[in-house]
Amino acid sequence: MPAVGVLILEIHVEDAHSLKDKRSVVKGLKDRLRVRFNVSVAEIDGHDTWQRSVIAVAAVSKDKAFAEQLLQSAEREAAHFLGGMLSGTSVEWLS
């Protein structure tokens, strides 16, 4: 049975004064995670707000331990990239 994990990243871009400012941060993060970890990444909430975004990072693997390690690495990378803009994280497993 494959393991499907979803990492939720809550982002607060305090210095954003327009959607364009926020989108540049969000796009940079999404592109970085896709390239480094070969995961699916999408903005799932906060589309119309200047300073808030919620990003979902999905990993599918035949091995739950591998998927968990991958999502933990993606979370560390996001924390490094975003710094204080990362306001919360959670992981959900689909069965």
4-57 pLDDT, tens digit per residue, is: 999 999 999 999 999 999 999 999 999 999 999 999 999 999 998 999 999 999
What's residue 14's pLDDT? 93
* Through-space distance between the first and last CA atoms of the chain, rounded to whole angstroms: 9
Q: What is the pLDDT of residue 95?
A: 73
What amino acid is encoded at 51 in this protein?
Q
Number of domains composing the chain: 1
The three-state secondary structure class of 81 is helix
What CATH number is given to the structural domain containing 90?
3.30.70.1120
pLDDT at 9: 98
Q: What are phi and psi of 21, to 5 degrees?
A: -60, -45
Domain of residue 39: give its range: 3-94
- What is the tens place of the pLDDT at every residue in 45-70? 999 899 999 999 999 999 999 999 99
SS3 sequence of 38-57: CCEEEEEECCCCCCEEEEEE
